[in-house]
Amino acid sequence: MKLITTLIVTFILNQMILARTFGEELGDWKIEKGSTGYYLIKKDLEPKMIKVRTIGGTPKIINVIHKKELPEQYVLVIYQGGSAGTSDIVTVYRAIIYDLKENKFVKDLPYKYESQNKKEIPQPEWNFSKTSIKVKDPNNGKEEVVSLF
């Protein structure tokens, strides 16, 4: 009886693991420091790596999310890209879009800014369509367009 229970539990756990796509959970990712910067690493057997941006301090992963406006295969790995400033410390959050189906990085984009002094900072404007993402950062006027297919 005990053996059967163990087998059933093992089977269920296996099904749970197989049911999800690797990369869609926080634990599937890590950030490590190299000599030339910090890297976001997807913990595959053959790791996928991309350099992340920091404006000061050590970056860290905050969350892995899926946007309902995007096809299922894309996740956003949100990371905190450090903080900087003299009279107001601003913390930068960025999002790396990852294509789980193709298993590749798509783009690293500004996601959110936070002022420690609670000042209102213009936020990056994200616009989704079926085939692309447009992100405009009012702080520097830069607009980036990412084709999804």
Partner 1 sequence: MKKLIYTTFTVLSVAFSFYAHSKERVYSQYSDNTFVDLSRIYIPVNKSIKAINTSTGVEEYLKMPTDYKVSVKGEVNGMYEIEVIKEGRLEPDIYLTSPRNIEDGINWYSVKGIIEGMGAVRAGAILKTICNVGSPSVDTGDATPSHQAQSNYSTVRNTQTEIYIEPTEGEYHEGCEALAEQPIPDSNKGMLATCMESIKKAITQGNRDQYGNLDRNKVFASMYERLKPEEQIFAAYIFTGHGEAAMWTSVEEPGEAMLVMKSVQNRRITAEKQREDKNLPIGAENFNELDIVLTEWQYSMYNNGENWDQYMDPGISVDFAPMIEAYAQMTDPATEWDPEEAMNNVTHYHREYVNPVDNWAARGVRVYPSVNGQKLRSDSSSGGYNKIYYNVDGSSNWGYVESRETHRPD
Residues that bind partner 1 (CB under 8 A): 32-37, 39, 41, 47-51, 55-58, 60, 80, 82-92, 104-105, 113, 116-117, 119-122, 138-142
Smaller CB distance to partner 1: residue 71 or 85? 85
Q: How far is the CB of 139 from partner 1 (least distance, A)?
A: 5
Contact 113, 139 (CB under 8 A): yes
- Residue 39 token pair: 């890297």
Q: What whole-number distance in Å separates Cα of residue 70 and Cα of residue 90?
A: 29
Q: What whole-number distance in Å separates Cα of residue 81 and Cα of residue 90?
A: 10
Q: How far is the CB of 88 from partner 1 (least distance, A)?
A: 5
Burial (CB count within 10 angstroms: exposed 0-12, middle 13-18, buried 19+), residue 133? buried
Q: How far is the CB of 126 from partner 1 (least distance, A)?
A: 18
Q: Which residue has the tokens 């420690």?
A: 116
Smaller CB distance to partner 1: residue 55 or 78? 55
Q: What whole-number distance in Å separates Cα of residue 129 and Cα of residue 74?
A: 13
Q: How far is the CB of 60 from partner 1 (least distance, A)?
A: 8
